[in-house]
Structure 1
Amino acid sequence: MALEAELKDENSVDAPPAGTLTLARGLDILRAVGRGATNLNEVSAEANIGKSAAQRMVKLLVQRGFLRSTHGTDFSLGPALIELGFHALYQSPVPVIAKPILEELARKYQDTVHLAVEDEAQVLYVDKVPGTRGAQMRSRVGQRMPLSRTGIGKALLLDTPDRWESTFDSESPIEQAPHQTKAAFLKRMKSYAKEGIALDLEDNEPGIRCVAAPIRDGSGKIIAAISMSATNPYMPDERMKALKTVMGTTAAQISRKLGYSGKTF
């Protein structure tokens, strides 16, 4: 029975491959610090690692620049991760191709523009070009958000109606806007899928609205999305309606540069 349990554990989706447990624990420590753990007790608990093992790994990660530490505590992500993050970002063709287009879009319309991908069933922001109206938004590059709450997340889900209900259910109620019931969300997604554009009607942040559109690769698969966001006074219904064409056309422009030749907005 013990051998059977061990084999089952090794073959599970979450179990690290044989011989990589130490590496897996080091990565878990990095994720723990990334989620806000700042001392050894918090890292040990968050990463589910004993304190002595965590202390040794943290020391090595600090030496290699993957973590920062002040007086053996106050852990934060280190400069080596920043460097690798930029390399990862620009090794993907999407941010490189989209960057000048997004900058022009933000300049012309004066509002904040985002680029995001889906990662681990969440929105992951990979670029942000702030607008010039002075509105502050909590979004930032590298931040994750629930798919069902953001306009850009809804755009990433447009082609997968089989996931809509389960995605909504998997996100805790505290993450949902009070007005966004499951029935309302599913009704909106059907409409957005038909139109090819998704909206954020203060679902994610009070007073902020956005219009989002999907980006497709050469196979036609949605691989990213863009959005334009602004405060309520700058995003009345009439302007949001007009921006649907703007965002759809812009997303299609990026998609064509990625090899997509199918139907565009």
Structure 2
Amino acid sequence: MAGDGTIGKACDVLDQVAAFQRPVRFAELLESSRFPKATLYRFLQSLTNQGMLSYDPDRQTYAPGLRLVRLAHAAWTQSSLAPIARPFLDTLSGETGETVHLAQLDSGQVLYVDKRNAAQPVEMYSQAGKVGPAYCTGVGKAMMAFLDEAELNKVISQQSFHRFTEKTLASEAALRSDLELIRSRGYALDDEEHETGIICVACPIRTPGGRMLGAVSVTGSTERMNFDQLEAWIPRVRRVAEQIAAEAQAWRFPETRPDGQKDRIQAT
């Protein structure tokens, strides 16, 4: 972002390198970069010198560096819900036999922070560490529906409304209508909106004070199940969301009272 100066620009370059999901050559980066050749090269050199990127002189490619890996691991353990939620996700996946996702919002998009595979895993877009759209995924809509109005407006303004399938909610009006329904029933559905043949139910993970922490979903394939079967798991998904929220509030994301003191609740 323009207001973030040099640090923001360097982060843009890191994002660009990571988006290729493979070692990438300078020429490939230059093709899609908003920076002039000399500027892009200078950022790549600085990031490499700092260990944020690694450079392979034989292949002449750049890739995320080990320092970045260490920082990512620290963020995963200290800031994400994943370590707290994993035992609950494993139990839910084992009970349902389906794929379970854990996600958080990141700059208006869905960041998948964990994925527990089912007994019969289904090939799908989502993987831990991947970023996906919020407006057409169950976890994304589950989180958006329970944001306060100002934050919701900001997140909606960041959506692309690209139509991935025939069922994608491809307008703000359609999304807002669905979010109203989600708020009234307490859970979200993804009816093949992001990927054809993939359906899911999702519940938000919120503290008792209403702070949005993330969302959890159970995902299946239309080849072997329908929504009646999937929706039968909603009470269990809701319970897991509550358990994760309680554990997170007790150990990592305590509520802050008006006097500045933090409430901690006993994990259950």
Q: Please report the TM-score for the alignment, with normalisation by the length of structure 2.
A: 0.80
Asked if 1:134 corresponds to 2:118, the answer is no
- Aligned amino acid, residue 181 of structure 2: S
TM-score, length basis structure 1: 0.80
Task: Tell me what 2:259 maps to.
Answer: none
Give distance in 1, aligned partners of 2:12 and 2:152.
Answer: 29
Q: Choose from 120, 125, 147 the match for 2:134.
A: 147
| 1:58-98 superposed Cα distances (whole Å, 9 cap, x missing partner) | 23433443223333633222232222111101102622221
Cα distance in structure 1, aligned partners of 2:74 and 2:154: 33
Whole-Å separation in 2 of the counterparts to 1:110 and 1:131 = 5
Cα–Cα, structure 1 residues 234 and 184, in superposed 2: closer, same or farther, change >3 Å? farther
Q: Are 1:105 and 2:92 matched, yes or no? A: yes
Unaligned 5+ runs, structure 1: 1-12
Counterparts of 1:130 and 1:68, CA distance in 2: 31
CA root-mean-square deviation = 2.8
Give the equivalent residue in structure 2 for 1:228: 218
| Aligned length in residues | 246
Tell me if 1:62 matches 2:48.
yes
Q: Identity, % of aligned pairs?
A: 27
1:110-125 aligned at under 5 Å gives the runs: 110-125=97-112
Higher helix share: 1
- 2:205 aligned partner: 215
Alignment deviations for residues 144-195 of structure 1 (CA, whole Å, 9 cap, x no partner): 1111110000011122374768756753343443233545433332221111
Asked which structure has the greater CA Rg, the reply is 1
In the alignment, the residues of structure 1 paired with residue 208 and residue 161 of structure 2 have an alpha-carbon distance, to the nearest angstrom, of 37
**Structure 1 residues 62 and 131: alpha-carbon distance in aligned structure 2, compared to 1, 3 A threshold:** same
Q: Give, in whole Å, the separation in 2 of the partners of 1:24 and 1:187.
A: 35
Aligned-pair CA distance for 1:198: 0.4
1:254 aligns with 2:240: no
Distance (whole Å) between structure 2 residues aligned to residue 53 and residue 45 of structure 1: 13
Structure-1 residue corresponding to 2:160? 172
Note if contact 1:61-1:67 (Cα within 8 Å) is conserved in structure 2. yes
